Amino acid sequence: MATSTTSQPRAAEVERLTLADRVDLLRYMLRMRGIEQRAMTLYRQGQVPGSFYDGLGQEAVSAGAAFAMAAEDRLCILHRDLAAHLIRGVEPERIFAQYMGRCSGLTEGRDGNVHFGDRRLGCVGMVSMLPDMMLVAVGMAMAFRIRGERRCALTWLGDGSTSRGDCHEAMNWAGVQRLPVIFVLENNQFAYSTPTSKQYAVNPVERAAGYGFPGVSVDGNDVEAMFAATLEARERAIDGGGPTLIAAETMRMHGHAAHDDMAYVPSELVDHWRGRDPIELEEGRLVAAGVDVEGLRAEVGVELEEALRLAREHPFPAASSAREGVFCEGEAQALGDGLARWSGYA
Amino acid sequence: MATSTTSQPRAAEVERLTLADRVDLLRYMLRMRGIEQRAMTLYRQGQVPGSFYDGLGQEAVSAGAAFAMAAEDRLCILHRDLAAHLIRGVEPERIFAQYMGRCSGLTEGRDGNVHFGDRRLGCVGMVSMLPDMMLVAVGMAMAFRIRGERRCALTWLGDGSTSRGDCHEAMNWAGVQRLPVIFVLENNQFAYSTPTSKQYAVNPVERAAGYGFPGVSVDGNDVEAMFAATLEARERAIDGGGPTLIAAETMRMHGHAAHDDMAYVPSELVDHWRGRDPIELEEGRLVAAGVDVEGLRAEVGVELEEALRLAREHPFPAASSAREGVFCEGEAQALGDGLARWSGYA
Amino acid sequence: MPEMTYLQAISDALREEMRCDERVFVMGEDIGTYGGAFKVTEGLQAEFGADRVMDTPMAEAAIIGAAIGAAVVGMRPVCEMQFSDFVACCFDQLVNVAGKMHYRQGLAVPIVIRLPSGGGFSGGPFHSQNPEAWLMHAPGLKVVAPSTAADAKGLLIAAIRDPNPVCFLEHKNLYRRIRGEVPAGTYQTPMTARVAREGDDMVVITYGGMVWTALEATEDLEGASIRVLDLRSLVPLDEAAILEAVGDCGKVVVVDEANATCAAGAQVSALIAEQGFEFLDGPIRRVATPDVPIAFSPPLEKALLPQVEDIRETCRELLAY
Amino acid sequence: MPEMTYLQAISDALREEMRCDERVFVMGEDIGTYGGAFKVTEGLQAEFGADRVMDTPMAEAAIIGAAIGAAVVGMRPVCEMQFSDFVACCFDQLVNVAGKMHYRQGLAVPIVIRLPSGGGFSGGPFHSQNPEAWLMHAPGLKVVAPSTAADAKGLLIAAIRDPNPVCFLEHKNLYRRIRGEVPAGTYQTPMTARVAREGDDMVVITYGGMVWTALEATEDLEGASIRVLDLRSLVPLDEAAILEAVGDCGKVVVVDEANATCAAGAQVSALIAEQGFEFLDGPIRRVATPDVPIAFSPPLEKALLPQVEDIRETCRELLAY
Ligand SMILES: Cc1ncc(C[n+]2csc(CCOP(=O)(O)OP(=O)(O)O)c2C)c(N)n1
Ligand SMILES: Cc1ncc(C[n+]2csc(CCOP(=O)(O)OP(=O)(O)O)c2C)c(N)n1
Ligand SMILES: [Mg+2]
Ligand SMILES: [Mg+2]
């Protein structure tokens, strides 16, 4: 019976990252943080309707995992995982527009904040009910298995979401049918205000064995470790080795949403994790490798300011369109392929 | 971390059974089988509306577990567990009436076959949706913990039911709050026509550890072993030691319901288990101990024939009562106490 | 044309669609080796194999969620709920994931959920329900409920070819009781209403199992000419056909087997009260199951489910109005 | 009498009941330390402790199932769904276990489920729903939906003391917007309708958040005398009050915020069309959200949810009928 193992960034996979790949990984994390910081300001300015959720401090989890996915793979991206959208090919401008409820946003104003996914890029947008998308990922993987395709599905879930029945039904089904699916458990220590101690008695990574597949613990703030663990899981999946549960240890550095001051979080905990910032960690490595990190930051800043400037100009959707599209009138279109950024796929 | 252990009928608990207790255990198994055999005939005669489910070959699971429960404990009894109702104090006559949809049945004709429980005897009748009652048992145990009472809740579930989300939500919640609840997993090898291999990749008894409490495998056809494992779990529960998952290995010796010829079950499997009949096993022990087993059988037979004769005479409920009782009009009455048969409670 | 039962017509639709479209597959509990609790899928696994006629774990949310996932990558899943009552166990996946997907992100979810529904055989509170109203109240789900063998086949084929999630209500009490001529090959029945019997003194509007009860009840009612409108589809609802019938007849009885409050019949009645008011020659009468769980014991169940006599009595009263 | 917001009135009811009945406890996600997503339970854990103000795992089915279990052994659980939309995740426990328990076995299930519901603040498709019709269609569940602060407190106390499962719909858009005088101590508001404004030319029948929209829309409508009937309770439904209003006014507009098909408004309309037909001086008009998920972007959401102007326009048309 497979039991959980802690995988440090394993030479094997990490060495398959070129310097350019590692610069890309940093770039996507910088874009994610830059977009969310600007969006938070927009929210405070009243430009973002509803609420606003971000993934500050968790950028490595989505960046590292999504970077290991191939164009033909399929993803259900969650609300702390903006980097995954960027890696699949979603432009920052459309993300700003999405937050602001403009017609050029990914859902054309129908859904809010992070509840989106670009179907042309192989992504199914999340629903609010967590972790419902795990079952959708299982279904995609089931289709791949039935058709004998060497592809896999990946989705994220939070520590709180492990308490829901859908999490169990998904893990069990994936295990019974040995499906090519990867579950990335994003353990950011809290579910809204609820600490993991009220969510489970045993770290859920231990449960993978009870479903018949490996559970792997990874440093969720180390983007290269996330890439390595995901690539390993993906290769096992497409070779018929079945699912993997990757438990990424990280920390939610903001409140649950913009309105939440997270007074319930002990400050030592925040201080501890502030010292382990995923972007600073990767920057340190790249500076050592001679990369002009300052230049990269500036580049991303310029790019995002321009994206935001353009997005601000996009119109709101027309009220007259509100009732359109409840049903599909034409042919059902399956998901398209996303971009595969890793040089190993080139 | 607790992991699953196989408990043979442990001297400690089994020796707490007097010979009279053991005769009682056999008596309840004989009554269960006798009632279900007669009910099956009634069904074939068209006297039992709807469908009919029985627990042939599984009598030891409910008899052994229920026998270890105290009067103040609370139970949710499932559809293969008729002996548990008898042990709590339900009279055979009312069970026959229940099957036949008569007004003197436990649900007064509102619900069918085994979907009943006598609230005055501390039992909540099961709903069809499986294993929903696990959550109800968790809630009862939660109330006991909040009120600081030394009582526990027990429910059964089938192997197929382990695939449902509610099973996970119940086990997880019970583990987090260390509740005094016992889950008896009745592994009778099939869920309707579905073998366990299509239900899970790993024996669910292994999962208990992932929820932070012990999982114990027991020979479900040995009524004394069932009693021992349950008594041990109960004592742990009321001492604040938390939940236990007892996995009883057994076999469903009839089809899923009366209409099912179970052609999908390999005959070797049936033959194997026929050689391990729980009633014959206990009879063997008692004969060796000098008990007049034939006399006991005869006694039970007479008793049941009389019960059936009386039940046949009970009227059907009046059509005029069909709309009554959807809502409770008076004071809500909590569950009452059941009978505690074990001499250790006397 | 071959004659077959309502049940055989459903099996036939599945077989035909699986033969002509390899994307179509069926999944559910005990539908493979065993052929399904009602034997609707009997023989299909032998012809199409275990992947296309898949025995699933006992997990309804997973069945719907997995179907959604398979659908968005190009498959055409047809799920069976062993009884329609179990739709409560996958309600979230159905209404929140499947139902809202296309509106939110333009992604179609071509899945079919087969729902063996209805009472009349002592199934009790958990095996007799008619859940259509819950589904009708969830935007993005189509809901159909055939009453004849030919419509059962044609509507199931239409549902499978529809790019949207379609809930297919098949009434258990019609499975073997109802036979009829069913065209061979594949054809689609439109999701519109059907006149089950012509008439112009009064119209009984219903669907599913109650169509037959209504026909029997109104067969010979003091010589009155009573139309029976079989809705066939509840979402979309054929409002034009309903209003036309009201215009022709003036008197309306709406019958459904579901619990009365907020039922499909309530929607039909509200529609008429708003848009057909001027045609009405009397109150819109309803016959439905009261808001009570469906009891098990025959006399109780009979007292709850609409009977021929209940409908006849209501029609008599309205005719006399 | 102290004046307080709708939200404070709900908190007050919980506090009063927990003080006078130790069997009462509240449970839900983030309701303890954090005081709830909307701060309804703020301060309660400090006063009553972590067992009586319990932070649960994120598991809605478990919340309802555990509440049922606690209730049948003598507790009085009050559950909070973080948003009413999540009721889809515990639908099975609610309709099949809680709703049918008393009918099946005479066992009462005194639980309350608090459901923060409704839209109007860009909550999007998963945080704006009004699920009452789903619950009304499930036998054995009571459903109440207060519109004023005083009724919110009185109905919540009545719900907690009711021996049955009661779904308590609290409209998020009223939480801080609506204030009013609220009696101190404990009192019960009857589960009957309330006349929010007298009038006899026409009646607008509604409940919850739409009561205020209806009052504003009909405040000054070419001097017409328009009654506004606030249902307050949907199960039981105050049919007598509805029919009385129809008898007095003759013209009826039914308004609800939920998606139109099979909504509470459809039931009210069907009831009137059957039992109040002779009082009607015109069609029964309905105003409701179309069968569309509630969109996020302000112009879309506004186009979907009933607005003051939509109601006013409908009333104008009907007055002119
Ligand atoms: C089924 C369900 N219940 C409640 C909520 C409300 N809610 C939104 S996010 C959240 C916390 C989720 O915690 P976790 O799964 O750890 O993800 P995180 O936000 O920490 O990344 C809750 C309770 C929800 N989205 N879905
Ligand atoms: C949620 C749910 N889905 C489907 C069913 C239909 N059904 C009734 S019993 C059964 C098999 C249950 O198998 P198991 O849990 O192993 O219990 P057993 O009958 O073998 O004791 C099924 C699928 C059900 N009762 N509940
Ligand atoms: Mg978290
Ligand atoms: Mg079994």
Q: What is the pLDDT of residue A160?
A: 98
Contact indicator for C169, C10 with CB cutoff of 8 Å: no
Q: Kindly compute the dihedral angle of the four CA atoms of residues B324, B325, B331, B333, in this order, to the nearest 10 degrees.
A: 140
Contact indicator for A319, D303 with CB cutoff of 8 Å: yes
Q: Per the omega criterion (within 30 degrees of 0), is the bond before A131 cis?
A: yes
Give CA–CA dist D100/A261, Å, rounded.
42
pLDDT at B176 over 90: yes
| DSSP code of residue D82 | S
Query: What is the sign, positive or negative, of the torsion defined by CA atoms of D193, D198, D200, D206?
Result: negative
Angle between the N-to-C axes of helices D60-72 and B133-146, in degrees from 0 to 180, rounded to the nearest 10: 60
Q: What is the pLDDT of residue B11?
A: 63
List, for residues A210-240, the tens digit of each pLDDT value.
999 999 999 999 999 999 999 999 999 999 9
3-state SS, residue D207:
coil
- Helix, strand and coil in chain C, % to nearest 5: 40, 20, 40
Q: What is the pLDDT of residue A6?
A: 54
pLDDT at A8 over 70: no
Contacts of D126 in chain A (CB under 8 A): 115, 127-129
Contacts of A160 in chain B (CB under 8 A): none
φ/ψ region of B53 (left if φ > 0, alpha if ψ in -120 to 50, else beta) reads: beta
List, for residues B64-106, the tens digit of each pLDDT value.
999 999 999 999 999 999 999 999 999 999 999 999 999 999 9
Give CA–CA dist A65/A87, Å, rounded.
10
Note the Cα C321 to chain centre separation in Å.
Answer: 31
Give the containing element (helix H, strand E) for D113. Answer: strand D112-117
Note the Cα D214 to chain centre separation in Å.
Answer: 16
| DSSP-assigned letters across all residues of C138-163 | STT-EEE---SHHHHHHHHHHHHHSS
Q: Where are the alpha helices (DSSP H) in chain C?
A: 6-20, 44-48, 60-72, 91-92, 99-105, 132-136, 149-161, 210-218, 239-249, 264-275, 298-304, 308-319
| DSSP-assigned letters across all residues of D52-64 | TEEEPPS-HHHHH
Contact indicator for A162, A196 with CB cutoff of 8 Å: no
- Nearest by CB to C125, which of D100, D134, D264? D100
DSSP β-ladder status, D202-206 and D226-230: parallel
3-state SS, residue A118:
coil
Chain D residues 115-174 with a CB less than 8 Å from chain C: 125-126, 133-134, 136-140
- Percentage of chain D exceeding pLDDT 70: 100
Residue A41 burial (CB count, 10 A): 12
pLDDT at C50 over 80: yes
Q: What mean pLDDT is predicted for residues B322-343?
A: 98
Contacts of A206 in chain B (CB under 8 A): 1, 209-210
Q: What is the pLDDT of residue D1?
A: 85
Give CA–CA dist B181/D307, Å, rounded.
51
Mean per-residue pLDDT of chain B:
96
Give CA–CA dist C249/C270, Å, rounded.
17
Give CA–CA dist B322/B110, Å, rounded.
8
| DSSP-assigned letters across all residues of A228-293 | HHHHHHHHHIIIII--EEEEEE----S-SSTT---TTS-HHHHHHHHTT-HHHHHHHHHHHTT--H
Nearest CA to ligand 2 atom 12: B191
ipTM confidence = 0.98
By C-alpha distance, the chain A residue nearest D29 is A194
Instruction: Mark A86-125 as b/e (b = at least 16 C-beta within 10 Å).
Output: bbbbbbbbbbbbbbbbbbbbbbbbbbbbbbbbbbbbbbbb
CB contact under 8 A, D70 and B142: yes
Residue A287 burial (CB count, 10 A): 12
DSSP β-ladder status, D252-259 and D285-289: parallel
Closest ligand 1 atom to residue A130 Cα is: 26
List, for residues D19-50, the tens digit of each pLDDT value.
999 999 999 999 999 999 999 999 999 999 99
Q: Per the omega criterion (within 30 degrees of 0), is the bond before D110 cis?
A: no
Contact indicator for C296, C122 with CB cutoff of 8 Å: yes
Contacts of C298 in chain B (CB under 8 A): 49, 101, 316
- B1-10, B200-209, C247-256, D195-204: which has the minimum mean pLDDT? B1-10
C interface test, pick of D137, D257, D285, D301 with most C CB neighbours within 10 Å: D137
Separation in Å, CA A341 to CA A65, A66, A345, D188? 12, 9, 7, 63
Give CA–CA dist D189/D147, Å, rounded.
12
C interface test, pick of B194, B199, B314 with most C CB neighbours within 10 Å: B194
Q: Where are the alpha helices (DSSP H) in B147-251?
A: 165-176, 208-211, 223-236
Give the containing element (helix H, strand E) for C229. Answer: strand C226-230
d(CA A266, ligand 1 centre) in Å: 20
pLDDT category, B346, cuts 50, 70, 90? Answer: confident
Radius of gyration of chain D (CA): 19
Give CA–CA dist D53/D32, Å, rounded.
5
pLDDT category, C301, cuts 50, 70, 90? Answer: very high
Give CA–CA dist C312/C287, Å, rounded.
10
Nearest 5°: phi and psi at A191? -115, 105
Separation in Å, CA A78 to CA A116, A125, A156, C105, C124? 9, 8, 6, 15, 41
Contact indicator for A164, A228 with CB cutoff of 8 Å: no
Closest ligand 2 atom to residue B132 Cα is: 1
- List, in order, residues 6 or more apart from D59 with CB less than 8 Å away: A163, A164, A165, B169, B172, B173
Give CA–CA dist D199/D195, Å, rounded.
9
Does ligand 2 come within 6 angstroms of the Cβ of B111?
Answer: no
Angle between the N-to-C axes of helices D6-20 and D149-161, in degrees from 0 to 180, rounded to the nearest 10: 30
Give CA–CA dist B49/B133, Å, rounded.
24
- Percentage of chain B exceeding pLDDT 90: 95
- Percentage of chain D exceeding pLDDT 90: 99
As given in the structure block, the two tokens for residue A297 are 């930051």
Separation in Å, CA D261 to CA A125, C267, D167? 27, 6, 21
Contact indicator for C163, A332 with CB cutoff of 8 Å: yes
List, for residues B123-160, the tens digit of each pLDDT value.
999 999 999 999 999 999 999 999 999 999 999 999 99
3-state SS, residue A344:
helix
Chain D residues 27-46 with a CB less than 8 Å from chain C: none
Nearest CA to ligand 2 atom 19: B191
CB contact under 8 A, A109 and D295: yes
Give CA–CA dist C317/C309, Å, rounded.
12
List the chains bordering chain D where 3 or more Cβ pairs fall under 8 Å: A, B, C
Separation in Å, CA B292 to CA B286, B295, B304? 8, 5, 19
DSSP β-ladder status, C53-55 and C24-28: parallel
Q: What mean pLDDT is predicted for residues C93-106?
A: 98
Size of interface B-D (CB pairs under 8 A): 142
Among residues D78, D82, D50, D48, the alpha carbon closest in space to that of D64 is found at D78
List, for residues A285-337, the tens digit of each pLDDT value.
999 999 999 999 999 999 999 999 999 999 999 999 999 999 999 999 999 99
Does ligand 2 come within 6 angstroms of the Cβ of B190?
Answer: yes
| DSSP code of residue D321 | -
Does ligand 2 come within 6 angstroms of the Cβ of B293?
Answer: no
d(CA B174, ligand 4 centre) in Å: 22
List, for residues C60-86, the tens digit of each pLDDT value.
999 999 999 999 999 999 999 999 999
From C33, C58, C93, the mutation candidate for ligand 2 (largest count of ligand atoms within 8 A of CB) is C58
pLDDT category, B10, cuts 50, 70, 90? Answer: low
Note the Cα D43 to chain centre separation in Å.
Answer: 24
- Percentage of chain C exceeding pLDDT 70: 100
Contact indicator for B281, B287 with CB cutoff of 8 Å: no
Q: Where are the alpha helices (DSSP H) in chain A?
A: 11-14, 19-44, 59-67, 82-88, 92-99, 133-147, 165-176, 208-211, 223-236, 267-274, 278-288, 293-312
